[in-house]
Structure 1
C-alpha cells in the first residue's frame, strides 16, 4: 500500500473546493515513509479518501495535489494528457495573436503544481520548482518531446524556491543543444529576441503581452516614458502605433542593449526612440525637478514583495513611483501602472495608486484594468494564480 497522510479535523475544506495545497500544520499523521516527490494518498481525519499528491518533506507546502480522481495513476500518460490538454486550450490565443512564444503550462492553474513551461519558437524553457515536479522530471520532458518533436528543451530551474523544496538549482540544455540560447518570437506581428539562458524568468515576460498590445491603442502621436523597460517590448508596440517619441529607462545595460536590438529588428531605429541607463526612482525625481512632461508613462517594475515581511516596503515603493509619474504627466495624460507581486491584491494596489494621486495633487480615474495574458490562466480553485495587476489611468 502506498504512503498516505491523514489530515487534522476540518483541514479538508480547501481540498473539497479543489485547492491544490496542503500545509504542514494541516497534517495529523503520515503513514509510511514517502520519499521526496513521491505520490501519496490524502485522507481526511475520518479516513475518507480525498486526493493524491506529491510529498514534499522540506516545504511548508507539504503536499501538492496532482489529482482528485482515485483511479487516475500519476504516470507518464498522466503528464502527457495534462500537457496536451493545456496545448489544445491555448490554440485560439496562439492563432489570434500570431504567437510563436507562449506559456504552455502555468503551474497549479493547469493542474500541474510547481511546473512552468514556456514555448519560444524552437526552444521550450522549463521550470520544475517542486519536489513532485522534480520526481517526475523524466515523464514531463518525455511528454514535451512527444508533443514538440522539433523543439529543443532548456531547463531554467535556477530559482531559489527550489531550495525550499530541498532541491538544488538546475540550468542548461536537457536535449540536444542548439548553437545559441537566443531565439526570436512573434507577438502581434512584432519580432522579439529572447535569451532563455540569460533572460528573466524562463527567458521573457510573456505575461505582459496583452498589456503591451494595449499601449498601442493610446500611443499614437504621444511622447512616452517607458520605465523599467527591460528589453523594450512595451516600446515596440508604442513605436508600431506611431508614438511621437519613447524614452526607455532601465538600470541594466544588458537589457537596454537587447531593447535596441529589438527595435532595430522591427525597423524602429530612429532618434525618437531613446535608451537611458538610469535608476528609475532617481530619474523620475530629476525629471520632475526639471519640469519635464510626458503624454504617457508606463510603470512596469520588478516584483517589490517576495514575502509578507516585504509588503509594507513594497507599498511605499509603488506609491513613490506612481506619485512621481503623475507629477510628470501632462493634464489628460495616461498612466499605465502594474504590480506583479502576488502578495499585492488588486484592491490594495488601487488604494496605493489613489494615495499616490493625492500626494501628487492630481486627480485621476481608471479607464481600463489589465492582467496577465490568456495563456496564464487563473484556475477558479486557485485564486493565487492571479498575480499581475494593471491599471490604465487618465490623470487630470
Structure 2
C-alpha cells in the first residue's frame, strides 16, 4: 500500500504525463483520494486508475504536481536525491570535460528531474535558486550531496549562495531572500566574489549582486564560435552585460571591439573584465541604449563594424507577448544587417523559450528581405550541454544562436 495521496487527472493531463512532461496543472486534477500538504509527495493516476508518476504537490501554484519519477518502485528518501545529484554531476563532468567543469550549471531543474532547482558552479562557490516548494524542503539533502560528491571528485566548495530573490517564488508560496546557506558541512564562505576562467578569459563573478546567479553560462561555446571568426574584425557587441562576447572576440584576434550596454553597472563590470584580461587596447565599453545607438548609426551611414553581435535579454516571458517580441528582435536585426558591409558577420540570438526557433528563423528571413541582403548561415547553435534539452519538456529548449555572413 503506497503512503501517498492519489490525484486523478484528465485525459489531456494523462497524455502529457505519458509523453514524459513532468507538469500537472490544477485544472487537470479531477479527483483526490487522501490528504496532503503543500510540498508533499503525491501519486498521479489516470481517470482509469493507471499509475502515471509521483511528484511534489502544491495547491497554491498553477502547476499542481511536479512529477519527479514515473517508477512506482522509487522511494523518495535521502538516497534517492543523492543518486539524482550524482547522476547530474557525472553528466556535467562527461559533457563539459574537466577544464569546463569548474564553471558550469550542475543542476538544471526538470532536465535533471529536480524541478525548480538551479545550481551553478563558479569555481569554489555554488549558487542555488529554488522555485519549487517541494524541492525547497529537500534542499538540505541536495546541498549536502553536492558538497560530498564534489569532494569525492577533488573539488572543495567554499560556500553555497542562495539567489532566491525572485518574485516567481511567491507563486509557489515561498518568500524572497538571498544569502549564504548555513550548514555545519560548509565553512565560513567569506566574500561573494570569485574568479572564473571561461574559454581562457578571466571574470570576477559577484554571486550576490550579479544578474540571475551571477553570470550567463549557457553561451560558453557560442562565445567560442564568435572568437573563431573574429580575427582582424571590427566588432560591435550589443547588450554586452559583463563583456563576455566582446572579450572572446578580442581573444580571437579582433582588431577592435566596442561593447555596449544600457546599464551603467554592466559597463563598469565590463571595464573591470577588460582590465583584468589586459585588453584595454582592443576593447572599449560604452553605455548606450542599443536600439537608439543602432538607429543613430544607420542615420549616419556608419560603416565602422564588420561583425555585429546581438545578445539581447528575453524580449518575451510569456506566449501572450511573442508578437511584440518579434517586432523588437526584427528591429535590431534589421538595423544590424543594414549596418554591415557585404561579407560582414552577424551573431544573433534569443534566450526566450516562447520565441520558438521557427518564429526566430522567420523573423530573420523577414529582416534580411527588408534589409535587401542574403544570409549565409555558418552555424546554428543552442545552449551549452550543461543546460541539457529534454525533448519531452519543451521548456528546457530556450536558447537560439545563429552565426551568419551577410552577402
Task: Give the TM-score normalised by the residue count of structure 1.
Answer: 0.96
For structure 2, the residue ranges without an aligned partner over 5 or more in a row are none
- The equivalent position to 1:278 in structure 2, one of 255, 274, 288, is 288
* 1:140-219 alignment, distance < 5 Å: 140-149=142-151, 150-151=156-157, 152-175=159-182, 176-219=187-230
Q: Report the CA distance between 1:180 and its aligned residue.
A: 1.3
Aligned equivalents of 1:86 and 1:290: distance in 2? 51
Q: Report the CA distance between 1:14 and its aligned residue.
A: 1.7
Deviations 1:96-144 (A, max 9, x none): 6544210001111111111111011110000111122112222222222
For structure 1, the residue ranges without an aligned partner over 5 or more in a row are none
Q: Report the CA distance between 1:303 and its aligned residue.
A: 0.6
Aligned equivalents of 2:203 and 2:102: distance in 1? 10
Q: Report the CA distance between 1:386 and its aligned residue.
A: 0.6
8 Å CA contact 2:92–2:101 kept in 1: the answer is: no
* 1:1-396 alignment, distance < 5 Å: 1-95=3-97, 97-149=99-151, 150-151=156-157, 152-175=159-182, 176-270=187-281, 272-293=282-303, 294-396=305-407
8 Å CA contact 1:99–1:188 kept in 2: the answer is: no
Change (3 A) 1:374 1:39: same
Aligned equivalents of 1:334 and 1:212: distance in 2? 14
Aligned equivalents of 1:224 and 1:218: distance in 2? 11
Deviations 1:66-86 (A, max 9, x none): 111112112221111111111
Aligned equivalents of 1:29 and 1:315: distance in 2? 41
8 Å CA contact 1:102–1:375 kept in 2: the answer is: yes
- The answer to which of 88-97 and 11-20 deviates more is 88-97
- The answer to which of 219-228 and 328-337 deviates more is 328-337
- The answer to which of 140-149 and 202-211 deviates more is 140-149
Aligned equivalents of 2:11 and 2:369: distance in 1? 48
Aligned equivalents of 2:385 and 2:87: distance in 1? 15
Aligned length: 395
Q: Report the CA distance between 1:44 and its aligned residue.
A: 1.1
